[in-house]
Amino acid sequence: MAGNIFGELFRVVTFGESHGPAMGCVIDGCPAGLSLTKAAIERELRRRRPGRGGASSARNETDEPEILSGVFEGKTLGTPIAIVVRNSDHHSGDYEDLRDLYRPGHADLTWEAKYGIRDHRGGGRSSGRETLCRVAAGAVARAFLAGYGISIRAWVSSIAGLDMPGPEAPDFDFDETERNALRVPGREAAEKALAEIEALKAEGDSAGGVVSCSAAGLPPGLGEPVFDKLDARLASALLSLGACKGVEFGAGFAAARLRGSEHNDVPVFLAEAGAGALPPGFKTNNAGGILGGISSGQRLEFKAAFKPTPSISKPQQTVDRSGALRELIIRGRHDVCIVPRAVPVVEAMTALVLADFVLLQRAARIG
Amino acid sequence: MAGNIFGELFRVVTFGESHGPAMGCVIDGCPAGLSLTKAAIERELRRRRPGRGGASSARNETDEPEILSGVFEGKTLGTPIAIVVRNSDHHSGDYEDLRDLYRPGHADLTWEAKYGIRDHRGGGRSSGRETLCRVAAGAVARAFLAGYGISIRAWVSSIAGLDMPGPEAPDFDFDETERNALRVPGREAAEKALAEIEALKAEGDSAGGVVSCSAAGLPPGLGEPVFDKLDARLASALLSLGACKGVEFGAGFAAARLRGSEHNDVPVFLAEAGAGALPPGFKTNNAGGILGGISSGQRLEFKAAFKPTPSISKPQQTVDRSGALRELIIRGRHDVCIVPRAVPVVEAMTALVLADFVLLQRAARIG
Amino acid sequence: MAGNIFGELFRVVTFGESHGPAMGCVIDGCPAGLSLTKAAIERELRRRRPGRGGASSARNETDEPEILSGVFEGKTLGTPIAIVVRNSDHHSGDYEDLRDLYRPGHADLTWEAKYGIRDHRGGGRSSGRETLCRVAAGAVARAFLAGYGISIRAWVSSIAGLDMPGPEAPDFDFDETERNALRVPGREAAEKALAEIEALKAEGDSAGGVVSCSAAGLPPGLGEPVFDKLDARLASALLSLGACKGVEFGAGFAAARLRGSEHNDVPVFLAEAGAGALPPGFKTNNAGGILGGISSGQRLEFKAAFKPTPSISKPQQTVDRSGALRELIIRGRHDVCIVPRAVPVVEAMTALVLADFVLLQRAARIG
Amino acid sequence: MAGNIFGELFRVVTFGESHGPAMGCVIDGCPAGLSLTKAAIERELRRRRPGRGGASSARNETDEPEILSGVFEGKTLGTPIAIVVRNSDHHSGDYEDLRDLYRPGHADLTWEAKYGIRDHRGGGRSSGRETLCRVAAGAVARAFLAGYGISIRAWVSSIAGLDMPGPEAPDFDFDETERNALRVPGREAAEKALAEIEALKAEGDSAGGVVSCSAAGLPPGLGEPVFDKLDARLASALLSLGACKGVEFGAGFAAARLRGSEHNDVPVFLAEAGAGALPPGFKTNNAGGILGGISSGQRLEFKAAFKPTPSISKPQQTVDRSGALRELIIRGRHDVCIVPRAVPVVEAMTALVLADFVLLQRAARIG
């Protein structure tokens, strides 16, 4: 389904322009009987909000969600769950001089080419603020997945050109991730990265980075061949984030340089599961937990690359609606690097994909 | 739509198991009035067939397509176009000893976990042979796109760990691509890569690689925000290929290390278009021709990483249906590297995505 | 797409329970550049509201719509249009004794069988109040269709067992329809019907009826064979209204009794179009303006039958959650006959179907 | 999904023109592990074939289905099931003089208006022969439903203006239905109707009729509110048959004339189920087994009205591609009345709808 709807059975529709009256989502297809509280949604929205760190914009939305439907006496009804968040902290005036300009690296030119009209205030519908709706919906999906023992966690594995410690590194500390403003899995690494971000901020420039994501507890069998493979749907979910420019699963691009004998994950007996367990354990996870588009029972592993924030305060050359070249100096509040805030968004999109596949899997066999 | 259907308006359904009676596709939604010949489909199927080079399997299917419907007196009717290709060159006996084994790196384990049953002969539905159907459908999409001046070309940019010359290199020669067995854009590079492939073959091992793709002639405006962005849909299309493990657009993963001032593509006047042309020209194409999920009028550029063929003739440890570890020696015919054959498949998937977006774009505005 | 989403390109999602915080809809796929005002939506919502006539309930919602997104400076952006209406006039206490009872003729039993949970207050999601969202969305579709010269009008052609004058009758007066509370096309007929309704009200009983609908200005070619025929989609739209029990197109059920030579509509030259015009005129319209599921250029004509309101104040036998038989006396406010209020809903659903087909038709041919 | 695809989870795609190389379908989403034989499909196709009775055309297709994929060692794989039937008995020459004529009551004019092109031979894609594909797919759906104890049976309840005995009539004999050429539930009634059909044939005229359908064994809970109600989807399925002009559920159009106190089905204890059983029994079935769009556990009951065959051998006035009026005498083989052959088609469409809802119901609740 084209447009603003995502998912087959566990579906979400998002709506809202950055400076319109409200943002929101409708979750259609969440099974009935799930315990759901407003607090669970607020918790995730809070994680997406601009932090105190130097990486984030100063826009100070309270992002208070209101559940308009679908929940009755603390449980989902099986009916659409509508969640609305008011846009309260407008500085629309900041954008008036952008009405006729197409900002470099933004969707201004392309949206206008497509629709012949655009809301120029804060990027309108193409604003990163739209991801708020995904996080709200993702919170519902996570509550659903928790009942299956499926958990998802993401972190910043590279930022501003600096690689952060990986899961196999001795100083990888996932618990640190939610403690520092950059969502980096290590205190020292976080400090180093923050210094780099502050330097970029001082120069009026911006940074990109990579988000790594890992999901545990997936039963084997999730994912729909042929076109709706688990990795295909996840890739689509991630690249539907405006700043995402690439995604890779397991060994990813590095796999293209391995030999078959190096890349194939070799089955082994795992002590915890015992001999003869199916699915078996594996020595490695080059596949990222997916074979032929279907979860294998191993941990799901992937990475998503995000470009640097296109809004920088350095003067830039751009073009206006008449085709004339113009100098642009962007004012207003902008994240130096959106990658830390992308972490809960990546988790949310992953949750939406997995929730959908859990439901689809129920239709795979007779009986 | 989950499963074996791809696309919203220009839709394709594929069917067939590798060793069943036939493979095929139904294209539903191809506009009426398009001139379409069987030869156009055969030409693309021939490009996907195993070549004479050392990289390909020896399976010798003639892959003769039959058009069963949807075309009348040389033109499409607007009705479903069914194309069937018989599976003629079965060596199903080669696979009998795989009935109870799960091959490493293959979808055997996961398909059986999902469905509780699988056709073990040649990978059944998860065989790479399924891509034949996509190529047939892609040939129809390409014929449609040709009427809009949209053309797509892909090539092997890295194989067996060797980087091939890129478009900016002096020895990049695209015309060479269809002349050598590896679809590498340069004669010397092809020879070097072929030697490496032959060496791997002698060792009973296999190789992966990267396919680069470029599409020209896209009008600005293709792609559907929010979830069905042009890059999101392409990523889904590419990762729906079983061996694909990653995809990146424009600067891709490298973008994550650039600063905003480096990554933003700067508009310039292009001599050929003249001053004031919209969309403008750009100094660079880090965006890969997509901004906010919508085509910008620049050339569409992306890469897809393919893992090495999991079927190798070296002995491997694997697991069987009872959970026991077993040694496996794969016999039968297998590509040392499927990446050259992936080139027409990547083009076909790109064509299917673009054809769909061309039709969807007709609904974007009033009038 | 299952559930609460309707349409392929011009899509609408509705949400809300009768006694929850709000009802609403999201229209996704309305083309950009359409002039749209809140007043256009209010006008249609007002037509759906309970009237002063004896047929309607006394629930007195103001039904003030708020447009949350998708419209900028008076024009649609091509982005989702979210419309919310608060539920203000709750008498939820009226329903407390229905928590464990399944009302006859209502969806109480079936929703609980499906979901294992239900919002018993006012029918929850299965309330007729859900149609408010359809009317709001339909108002947008009507604005879109107006640009194509397509107009839709419906009226009550039978109510409480009384047949109202048909279009060919001398006393058929369509302008009268919006003047009387029963939406009957004739003043005398309205009075007679109202007397019957008042009598039923006095007895604590209820009535059903038939809505006729006619749409003009359809170009030939609307409707998608094979499964999404114009009549198929309209039938689905109408029977998605809880009280609708049947639908017929053109001669409808009577057609089953005609001979081919009587039923085939004979082409003739119409004075206004002149000789040689295509599509031609026809002597009759037994086909209801549809041939093979595609609009013929004739007026679209169909009827929808609505059952009597199941909520009656007479004592009834029913069953409770424990399976015990119980006597039920329904209190609260209920329409004696919802058929007059169904008129704008039928028009709205027709508008949504036609808007979708107008967009789909743009993809039918090359060029 | 527009076009030639039907269903959400249990999906079917049909293809083929009446005089093209073949007709066929692809069933995508049939669960894995279902026992399926070619004989089950042949049996249903045989029921759809022209019979010996005077009502049917003399076209003598053998309609031999070939299963191309999706079944392995007698069981479904969970992969697409492609079924192809060759068109062998062409008399395309019979149609040459129809190339430029638009036949009254047929889709010639409308398809050409839509697509600008049509296959004029035997109605092309709009031929009733397309229903063959639905019957093949329906056979698979019926095999799936049998595992749930769901059975479907239809019969001709009215033909050529004559009402056949209803289920409550003493001379209703369902077993007789498959014994006589008209699929009428009573021997005497069949003879009377056949005489009428023969008389029409002699006059070169044709007849319509009504098919009644009843399905048993549905659990309560099937059907998806709001837009995809069980009756909405069935109505769409039935009106997607070219000759169908109306559909009604339970009391149907007659319900519009009843009072609420007459129409509400009153729950009672049924001896077989015992006191306290849920769902309860009901004194009547005016609802046709559906409340709020969801199955209630009662028998599903509905009727579909079919227009008389538009192809008659009497001379008719028509119009040609140039807009000129022309006299038309249709030659070739045509059913005097297609209603008896519509019986297995109605059953097939019902089976497809129910199979889809059985799968969708698995996603309704947590756990």
Q: Does A296 lie at the interface with B, CB-CB under 8 angstroms?
A: yes
How far apart (Å, rounded) are the C-alpha atoms in residues A53 and A190? 11
Q: If we measure between CA atoms, which residue out of C138, C197, C199, C131 comes closest to residue C12?
A: C138
Q: How far is CA C170 from CA C163, C216, C267, D299, in A?
A: 14, 21, 26, 44
Q: What is the rounded CA–CA span in Å between residue C233 and residue D240?
A: 8
Residue D202, CA distances (Å) to D189, D196, D199 in order = 20, 10, 5
Contact C28 A4 (CB under 8 A): yes
Q: What is the pLDDT of residue D268?
A: 85
DSSP result, B146-160: HTTT-EEEEEEEEET
Closest CA to C342 of C245, C219, C263: C245
- Whether A359 and chain C come into contact, CB under 8 Å, resolves to no
Q: Using alpha carbons only, how large is chain C's radius of gyration in Å?
A: 21
Report yes or no: A215 at the C interface, CB cutoff 8 Å: no
- Is the pLDDT confidence value at A53 over 80? no
Asked if residues A55 and A181 have their Cβ atoms less than 8 Å apart, the reply is yes
CA distance A181 to chain C (A): 32
Q: Which residues of A167-188 are buried (b: 16+ CB within 10 A; e: fewer)?
A: eeeeebbeebbeebbbbbbbee
Cβ-nearest to A364 among D31, D225, D364: D31
SS (H, E, C) D69-121: CCEECCEECCCCEEEEEECCCCCHHHHHHHCCEECCCCCHHHHHHHHCCCCCH
What's the confidence (pLDDT) of residue C53? 53
Q: Is B281 on the interface with A (CB under 8 A)?
A: no
- Of the two residues A274 and B169, the one the predictor is more confident about is B169
The strand order across the sheet containing A101-102 reads A101-102, A316-320, A325-328
Do B95 and D43 touch, CB atoms closer than 8 A?
no
What the block records as the tokens of A332 is 């207003």
pLDDT score at B52 = 47
Longest alpha-carbon distance in chain A: 71
Using the predicted structure, report yes or no on whether residue A52 has a pLDDT greater than 60. Answer: no
Which of D 231-260 lie inside 8 A of C, CB atoms?
Answer: 231-240, 242, 244-253, 255-260
The confidence score (pLDDT) of residue C57 equals 60
Question: Could you say which of C33, C79, C225 has the minimum Cβ distance to residue B366?
Answer: C33
Out of B32, B363, B366, whose CB is closest to C34?
B366
Give the closest of C246, C279, C360 to D246, CB-based: C246
Residue type, C321: R
Q: What pLDDT shows up at residue D202?
A: 95
Q: Which of B1, B22, B69 sits opposite D20 (nearest CB)?
A: B69
Place of tokens 């505005």: B365
pLDDT tens-place string over residues C208-255: 999 999 999 999 999 999 999 999 999 999 999 999 999 999 999 999
Residue type, A85: V
- DSSP code, position B331: -
Assess contact for A89 and A330: CB atoms under 8 A.
Answer: no
**Contact across the interface for A77 and C115, Cβ inside 8 Å:** yes
Residue C291 is which amino acid?
Answer: L
Query: Does C29 contact D at CB distance below 8 Å?
Result: no
pLDDT over 90 at B107, yes or no = yes
Q: Which domains does chain B have, with CATH numbers?
A: 5-250+287-361 (3.60.150.10)
CA distance linking residue C295 with residue C291, whole number of Å: 6
By C-alpha distance, which of D308, A68, A106, B353 is closest to C19?
A: A68
* Cβ within 8 Å, pair A366-D32: yes
Nearest Cα neighbor of B319 from D19, A266, A256 is A266
Q: What are phi and psi of C359, to 5 degrees?
A: -70, -45
User: What is the pLDDT confidence band of residue D175, given thresholds at 50, 70 and 90?
Assistant: very high
Written as one letter, the residue type at C192 is K
Phi, psi of B274 (to 5 degrees): 85, 165
Predicted confidence (pLDDT) per residue in C169-221, tens digit: 999 999 999 899 999 999 999 999 999 999 999 999 999 999 999 999 999 99
Return the bridge partners of C7, or none. none
Residue C135's SS3 state is helix
Confidence (pLDDT) at A367: 82
C313 touches chain B (CB under 8 A): no
Distance to chain D for B219, nearest Cα, Å: 25
Mean pLDDT score across all residues of chain C: 93
Residue type, B192: K
Amino acid at residue number C63: D
Q: Mean pLDDT over residues D171-180, rounded?
A: 93
Question: Are C152 and C145 contacting, i.e. CB atoms less than 8 angstroms apart?
Answer: yes
The runs of H, that is alpha helices, within B119-229 are 131-146, 187-203
| Range of weakest confidence among A262-276, B191-205, C163-177, D5-19 | A262-276
Within 8 A by CB and 6+ apart from C255, the residues are C263, C286, D208, D245, D246, D305, D306, D307, D308
pLDDT at D256 over 60: yes
Distance, CA of A61 to CA of A86 (rounded, Å): 9
pLDDT (average), residues C35-48: 96
Q: What is the residue-wise DSSP string for D220-249?
A: TT-SBTTTB-HHHHHHHHHHTSTTEEEEEE
- Structure confidence by residue, pLDDT tens digits, A322-358: 889 899 988 766 889 999 999 999 999 999 999 999 9
CB atoms near residue B228 (< 10 Å):
24
Cα separation of the two ends of chain D: 29
Burial class (CB in 10 A: 0-12, 13-18, 19+), D279: buried
Interface contact D17, partner B, CB < 8 A: yes
Burial of A74 (0-12, 13-18, 19+ CB in 10 A): exposed
Nearest to A269 by CA among B323, B112, B111: B323
Which alpha helices (H) appear in chain B, and where do they start and end? 38-48, 108-115, 131-146, 187-203, 230-239, 260-263, 339-361
CA distance B166 to B161: 15
Q: What are phi and psi of D171, to 5 degrees?
A: -95, 15
Give the number of beta-carbon pairs within 8 Å between B and D.
161
Binding partners of A (≥3 Cβ pairs within 8 A): B, C, D
Which run of H or E residues covers position C307? none
Range of lowest pLDDT (B72-81, C280-289, D332-341): D332-341
Q: What is the pTM of this model?
A: 0.97
Write the pLDDT tens digit of every residue in A184-224: 999 999 999 999 999 999 999 999 999 999 999 999 999 99
Residue B172's CB is within 10 A of a number of other CB atoms, namely 17
C-alpha distance from residue D271 to each of D219, D268, D274, D275, D281 (Å): 19, 9, 5, 8, 9
Nearest to D365 among A31, A225, A366 (CB): A31
For residue range A273-286, what is the model confidence (pLDDT) as tens digits?
667 778 888 999 99
Query: Considering only CA atoms, which of D12, D9, D343, D362 is closest in space to residue D178?
Result: D343
Chain C, 46 to 65: residues with Cβ < 8 Å from chain B are none
Interchain CB contact of D332 with A (< 8 Å): no
Any B CB within 8 A of A329 CB: no
Query: Looking at the predicted complex, does its ipTM rise above 0.90?
Result: yes
| Confidence grade of residue D250 (pLDDT, cut at 50, 70, 90) | very high
Class of residue C161 by CB neighbours under 10 A (exposed 0-12, middle 13-18, buried 19+): middle
pLDDT confidence bin for C268, thresholds 50/70/90: confident
Q: Measured between CB atoms, does A144 come within 8 Å of chain D? A: yes
Coil, strand or helix at B341:
helix
